[in-house]
Amino acid sequence: MTARIKSKRSKWHVATAAEAIVAAQFARFDYDVSVQYGANQPEYDLIIASTGKMLKISVKGSADGSWGLTQSHLRKAGRANYHGAADIWLQRHNLATAICLVQFGNVSLDAMPRIYLAWPKEIVAKLKGAAGGRGDTILYENYTRGPRAAGAGTNERLPDDWKMTKERVEALLSEIRTTDS
């Protein structure tokens, strides 16, 4: 009989793995990668550069199919003001810093997690459109709302064009000014 080993994966493990995998994936795409050293720095976790263009990246890891992004802003925005919480979250982000979402949920340890890349404004639009337009504090990778939930039956799904591909990275970089100007 094989003993079952309890997973000791913590939020720290998820965050650390997410940042390392994202840095490796950008390097695989032939970008120069600079990772911040030390305790979590505000705004971004790493920078990629190529042909005079630079992009700051904030990495968000998850192991449950969702990313809780704006719940800490609900109190400031007002009770159940999901759109207001999303607006506060957006104000705290540099609009030129891309958000990289890494999903470990239902991914075996010998496989790559699913990775997405989006601008903060794109994420806020998804959050505000969730639950039939009521909005939400949680960004879901792929989730269908139950029959008693706001927006019952709605499927919350990240757009396919957010998948981190070389083409997606190039598209985001093309929107950035060159570092030489």
How do residues 110-136 score in pLDDT, each as one tens digit?
999 999 999 999 999 999 999 999 999
Q: Tell whether 92 is covered by a domain.
A: yes
Q: Tell whether 161 is covered by a domain.
A: yes
Q: Tell whether 6 is covered by a domain.
A: no
The DSSP bridge partners found for residue 118 are 99
Q: Tell whether 1 is covered by a domain.
A: no
Q: Tell whether 77 is covered by a domain.
A: yes
Q: Tell whether 181 is covered by a domain.
A: no
* CATH at residue 98: 3.40.1350.10
In terms of Cα–Cα distance, which of 61, 50, 60, 9 is closest to 26? 50
pLDDT of res. 166: 97
Range of the domain at 51: 11-174
Number of domains, the chain: 1
Q: Per residue in 131-173, pLDDT tens?
A: 999 999 999 999 999 999 999 999 999 999 999 999 999 999 9
pTM, two decimals, is 0.91
Q: Per residue in 22-66, pLDDT tens?
A: 999 999 999 999 998 766 677 899 999 998 899 999 999 999 999
**Residue 76, pLDDT above cutoff 90:** no
Give one DSSP letter per residue of the chain, joined into a string. -PPPPPP---HHHHHHHHHHHHHHHHHHTT-EEEE--SSPPSS-SEEEEETTEEEEEEEEEESSSEEE-SGGGHHHH-TT-HHHHHHHHHHTS-TTEEEEEEE-TT--TTSPPEEEEE-HHHHHHHHHHTGGGT--SEEESEEE--TTSTTTTPEEE--GGGB--HHHHHHHHHTSPPTT-
**Residue 6, pLDDT above cutoff 50:** no
Average pLDDT, the chain: 91
CA atoms within 13 A on the CB side of 158: 23
